[in-house]
Amino acid sequence: MITTIMEKEKTDKKDHILDVAERIFAEFGYDGASTRAISGEAGVNMAMLNYYFGSKEGVFLAIFERRIAMFQQVLAEIGNDTSFSPWEKLDKYIESYVEKVVNNNCFHIMLHREISKTKKSELTDKITAIVMKNVTVFQGIIADGVKSGEFKKDTDQELLVATIFGTKNYIINTPHISSVVLGYDVLDGEAQEDKLKPRLKKYLKTLLKAYLQN
């Protein structure tokens, strides 16, 4: 019992540190953030932060693993479920994808800031490898649909990936512009639930259906 309580407290503390770190990385970027600023705002000492994560890169990658791991499992289950047609898989993928990307603004701002850098590094390579797991599931669904004849044979699968993920990047990572274009604050929680999510899901599904289906 005591061990279980201690493990929960440890998990809660780590999650708190990662929540704080995510906000700081989103605001200042990887290079501008520091472990001292993260530990200070999280209310923990440097020794504890280093014990849990080892380094700034360790904190950064832990954020990605926490945010993406569960989502990757959901997407993989959708992609591997043989009871669904390619279009049904795509429909479920869009539902899950929109829910995830709209709910985690700070994370996706942080993600975009790092992978949009022109200079590659070991860190960007690690991030790219993590993100590509989600992209691969999407590509697999499209490829299966083309192979089965449900989707058009001349589908440009690579640019379709750019269209879906690019739409998300524009809305989430340029909120001052996208808010003016869409007519409401895309960072407002109520607007996200009542307007942005339903609108984005409907748009992406309509777009995909018109482009893909024979």
CA dihedral sign of residues 177, 182, 185, 191: negative
> Region 134-155: what's the mean pLDDT?
93
The pLDDT of residue 35: 93
The answer to whether the CB of 201 falls within 8 A of the CB of 94 is yes
Counted residue by residue, the chain has a size of 214
Residue of 32 and 108 predicted with greater confidence: 32
Q: Is the pLDDT of residue 26 over 90?
A: no
Distance in angstroms (rounded) separating the CA atoms of residues 98 and 125: 25
Distances (CA, A) of 6 to 10, 12, 32: 6, 10, 33
> Packing angle between helix 105-115 and helix 86-103, nearest 10 degrees?
100
Distance CA 211, CA 208 (A): 5
The sign one gets for the Cα dihedral 23, 41, 72, 125 is positive
Residue-wise pLDDT for 158-203, tens only, equals: 999 999 989 988 898 888 999 999 999 998 989 999 999 999 999 9
pLDDT tens figures, 78-91: 988 989 999 999 99
* DSSP classification of residue 85: -
**Side chain identity, residue 111:** L
